[in-house]
Structure formats: structure tokens, C-alpha cells
Structure 1
Amino acid sequence: MSEITLNYAGPVDLDTYGRYRPGGRPGPRYPFQGRIGTPEFPAEPGRYHLYVAAVCPYAQRAAIVRSLKGLEDVVSLSYVDDDRDGRGWAFRERRGADPVNGFATLREAYEATEPGFDGHVSVPTLWDRETGRIVSNNFPDITIDLGTRFDGDPEADLYPEELRPEIDALNARIYEYVNTAAGRVGSATTEAEYGEARQAVIAFLEELDARLADRRFLFGSGITEADVRLWPTLLRFDVSDNPAARISERPLTAFPNLWAYARDLYQHPAFRENTDLTALSTPTGETDPWRIPAQPFQADWEQSHHRAAV
């Protein structure tokens, strides 16, 4: 095997490259949708590599599942830099070089897969060393496949077959009312639209808080795919999403069961070790007079959660 030349992109340069834009490629936003465990992409240890970003909640999910399933020696992983300009995600010294291909930017992986690619360069991206191309950048599929297609930790059954319809249904609501809540509420252009959007999010958070009163995790005593999809957004609620979109007068800490649950997960090694609290942004929100005040708030994630007996 030839030695990889490690390359770094230059510093973020908005004056030269502008802000990141997803490009004009027609078709789905996440066009590469290969699946592990198919004849094209068999579940072979050492064959696949994950590109992730510490700042991205969707990429953080993949890193967490990899750890929960004990796949550190099965699927390799590396980080892109936290910041982007018009070139998209890039490799810089802060997070390290690309150890697989020596790319300076993640766009090079997309262009190697589809020459002339002009679309969204996203993380997580799952790369196939064997064929030298992207398997998938479709984030929901990546965590499902990592959780089900390899012979990882059998105790970590993240997607039990008998619960899959219920998990899928809850995941759809988590995506609508939590994962994309900041964008939905933040983009409201009238007071009425804003009020309706934020109240829908708050009602769902209250529903989750009540659900967690008598169960440790969303589906009982074991962590599932639903917990992995919910948690990274909860992590960002007080420091990023709420200050940016002005969703709720209450911080996450004011939802007692949800806050204890979030701490419980954070204190699990698979979640803690794939979290960099310093990478989370603290933006200021819109100044429309009809938006409620919401300031960045960093809670104590090390506080005891007392959830083990739930």
C-alpha cells in the first residue's frame, strides 16, 4: 500500500471563497445512498471510513453509534475542521489530516465519486476504501447500518426488530420538532408563524419530558437509535439552537426528566468521548421585538442524573 501524503487546506478565507453554498446539483440533497450489507458494499471490517465533524449533530450521531457498537477497530474515523468557507468541509491541523486519501477538502471525496460534483458536501460521509468512492452521505442510513450490519457489541441493540416501526415513527417526530426546530422557528417571518412554530416544539419537549418520567431511555432500559437521534440536538439546545431561534423561555434544564436523561447519556462513554463542548457555538438570535429573549447558557453536564433506577 502506498504511503498517504497528508495535506491541509489553507485557512478559512471568506473574502476569497465566500460562505459555503450547497451547489446546484439536481436531485436529492444527500445523493449517495449505498447501504452496508448489500452485495455492492459487504460488511467487511477495515473496509470503511467515516468522515465527521465535531460541530455537526448529524455526524456526531454516527460517531456515537460507532462507539456504542464497539466498532472502533472495524470502521475508522477522522474529523474535518470545525469551520467552512466556500470550499466546504476541509482538513486542517486543529482536527488533523485525512488519513485515508490525503484529501485537503472533503469535496475531493465527492468529486472522486462523481466527477464534476456540484452539490451538498456533508458529514457524516461514509467512504469505501475498496472502490475508492463514497458509500453514503445519507445520515439516517449511516447510523442504522453501523448499528445493525456489523458484528459489534451484541448488548447494544440500537434498532430492535420488534420496535422498528415505533422507533421510526418517533424518529420522524424528533426530526420535525427537535432536529430541525431551530431552522423552522428561526425562519418564521410573522409573529403568528413564529408563535405556532415554537409552541409546537415546546409541546413536543413537554411530551418527551413526560415520557421519560417512568423510563430511563425513550424505549425503556436500553439506548436505541431514537436516543442517538435526539441527544445531539438536546446538547446544543441551550448553547446554540435556542439562542439562535428563540424557541423557548425555558432552558433544557427546566424540563426535569429530559434534562436528567440528557445528562445520563452524556455521562455514558460513547456519548462523552464523542463530544467536544468547546466546539458548540453560542450565537445571538433575531432581534424582532416579538421574539422571546433566549441567551446562551452552559449547564453542568457532570451533575448527577439519578436515572439508573428509573
Structure 2
Amino acid sequence: MPVVVPSSLLPAAGSPAFRGRIGRDAASGHYAVPHRYRLHVAPADPDCLRIAAAHGLLGLDTVLPLHVLPERPDAPDGSYTALRPLYEASAHLYTGPAAAPVLADTWTGRIVSTHVPDILRDLALRFRGDGPDLLPEEHREEIDALADRCAHDIHRAAQHAGELGLDGGAEEALDTLLAALADLDARLADRPYLLGTGPTLADVHVWGALVRLDTVHRWHLDAGALHRIAGHRALWAYAQRLAAHPAFARHLDTEALLRRHRAHCRGREAAGAAIRIVDWDASRR
């Protein structure tokens, strides 16, 4: 049965975090079997985009179908109508938003997980098949650390730095962001992927963070900050290269990402909005 986190631990968006996991065998309840599960994602959401990229790298279209939702929820409370039955079946008297992503069990009609890190781990560990090893055991701690750095030192730091100096910590946040980018840039100086010669979840996390940075956060940063961010040439060349990979490119729509962001963002636009670091759509031409 999926586990619902107590309301005191829920994210600000108000959607409950279902934390069921895919186990190793039948005794786990939710075990890895072809065609039992379905992923519901809205790739205009950066978290869903990461899941779609991992799904593509593993080649899971047949084994674990991907249901792609519209870029914006179709209900006034931010819900997807198509997901409402899953939420109502999974939580007694549920009245909150029905949000993506969702890993659903088609046998029971209930949600296994809405927790992005757990979904990514279970895809990599339980549904790998003949696909690449996205979560090699010797690198798991490092991948988790990079995921955490993407969340805090890139995403959150960019948000704070984009406050246009209204907060005294904006410059400190920019320094944190630039230090994280410099570290990643140095890692990529002599290798095609962050941890070697093949893609892992580290690349999924970092690529998703870079897409969000250049697609969404740049609109709230000044031109000077954007030029400093763009100066990490190995990192942005890597991002462009991954954008041409079919698994990353398939569900990438930067305009949809921006429209979804603008639908709920009231931040001020800055001069950095005019500076585009990567031509994310080049591979589609």
C-alpha cells in the first residue's frame, strides 16, 4: 500500500507525497513486472521532464507506458482531471489537488508514488532491462549528492539570486550558484558524462537543472549574472549535447516550460531574459 506522508510534512503545494516503492519480488507487494505500472507526467514541469528523460534512456515505452499530460492542469485547483480517480482511490476522502508526476499501479488503480527521487531510483533499479545502469552502486552516494546540489545550489540559489537585489542575500546566492556550476564544468572537462563514459541519474538531475536555469530562472536574473553563468563552456556544451540525445529531446519543450512557469510566477523580469545560453531546440530542426 502507498504511504501518505502526514500533513505536517507535505510540500507547500499541498499535494500529498505517496511514497510506495517497487520491490525486488512478489513479497514486496509492488514488484517489477512488465505492463503493470504506468507513469503520468507533464513534461512542462521540470521534475516530470527528468522522469521522462530517465524513462527514455531505459527504453521503457512498452514495459512501463508513459502517459503524457498537457502542460497545464485542466482544473481550477491545479489538478489533472485524468489523475483524480487515482488520488481518490489512494487516499480516503481525498479532496486535494491531483498533480503529476504519478507512478500508478494499473492492477489496483492506485498510486504507488508521487515522489520524484523514489520514482527515478525505482526506474533505474527495477526496470533497467537491457538499458544503461543509471544508478551504479559505486556511485549512488555521489549521485544523491549531485541531486541535492542541483536542488539547493542551482535551483534554489537561482531563485534567490533572481530577486534582483531586493534581498541582501541575493549576491551570496549567486556565488553559491556559480560555485556549483564551476564544479560541474570542471568535472566535464575530460569526460562526456558526469561520472564517466555513459549516462547516469546524475546527468538526468544536472541536465534538468540546467534546462530550468536557462529556460525559467534567467528571466529573473540580470545580464551580468547571466554572462557569468554562461561562461562555463564545457557545462553548457554538455547540456546542448544531451539535448540532442533522443531520450532527453523527446519531451523537451522549452516554450511549454516557460508558459507553465509564467502561469503561477509573479516575479519581475530582468535583463537576463534577453540572453539565451543554449539553443535547446536545435536538435529538432
- Which TM-score tier does this pair reach, normalised by the shorter chain? 0.7 to 0.9
* Residues 87, 105 of structure 1: 8 Å contact kept: no
Structure 2 CA distance for aligned equivalents of residues 82 and 295 of structure 1: 21
Structure 1 CA distance for aligned equivalents of residues 226 and 266 of structure 2: 13
SS class of match (2:227): coil
The aligned residue for residue 184 of structure 2 is 208
The aligned residue for residue 264 of structure 1 is 241
Structure 2 CA distance for aligned equivalents of residues 34 and 263 of structure 1: 35
**Under a length normalisation based on structure 2, what TM-score does the superposition of the two structures give?**
0.82
Larger Rg: 1
The aligned residue for residue 28 of structure 1 is 10
Relative to structure 1, the CA distance from residue 215 to residue 257 in structure 2 (aligned partners, 3 Å threshold; closer, same or farther) is: same
- What is the aligned counterpart of 1:295 among 256, 270, 273? 273
1:50 is aligned to 2:39 = yes
Structure 2 CA distance for aligned equivalents of residues 275 and 267 of structure 1: 10
The aligned residue for residue 3 of structure 2 is none
Structure 1 CA distance for aligned equivalents of residues 173 and 128 of structure 2: 42
The aligned residue for residue 79 of structure 2 is 89
Structure 2 residues without counterparts, runs of 5 or longer: 1-5
Relative to structure 1, the CA distance from residue 190 to residue 244 in structure 2 (aligned partners, 3 Å threshold; closer, same or farther) is: closer
* Residues 58, 123 of structure 1: 8 Å contact kept: no
Structure 2 CA distance for aligned equivalents of residues 197 and 208 of structure 1: 17
- Aligned-residue offset at 1:105: 4.1
1:78 is aligned to 2:63 = no
The one-letter code of the counterpart of 1:295 is A
* Residues 154, 177 of structure 2: 8 Å contact kept: yes
- Aligned-residue offset at 1:64: 1.1
* Residues 32, 126 of structure 2: 8 Å contact kept: yes
- Aligned-residue offset at 1:79: 2.0
Structure 2 CA distance for aligned equivalents of residues 256 and 285 of structure 1: 31
Relative to structure 1, the CA distance from residue 55 to residue 166 in structure 2 (aligned partners, 3 Å threshold; closer, same or farther) is: same
The aligned residue for residue 147 of structure 1 is 124
Superposition RMSD on alpha carbons, in Å?
2.8
Relative to structure 1, the CA distance from residue 186 to residue 110 in structure 2 (aligned partners, 3 Å threshold; closer, same or farther) is: farther
Structure 2 CA distance for aligned equivalents of residues 139 and 69 of structure 1: 16
The one-letter code of the counterpart of 2:45 is C
SS class of match (1:42): coil
Pairs within 5 Å for 1:103-142: 104-119=81-96, 121-142=98-119
Structure 1 CA distance for aligned equivalents of residues 89 and 136 of structure 2: 36
> Number of residue pairs matched?
264
* Residues 165, 171 of structure 2: 8 Å contact kept: no
The aligned residue for residue 59 of structure 1 is 48
Relative to structure 1, the CA distance from residue 303 to residue 87 in structure 2 (aligned partners, 3 Å threshold; closer, same or farther) is: closer
* Residues 221, 273 of structure 2: 8 Å contact kept: no
Structure 1 residues without counterparts, runs of 5 or longer: 1-23, 91-103, 305-310
Structure 2 CA distance for aligned equivalents of residues 47 and 275 of structure 1: 26
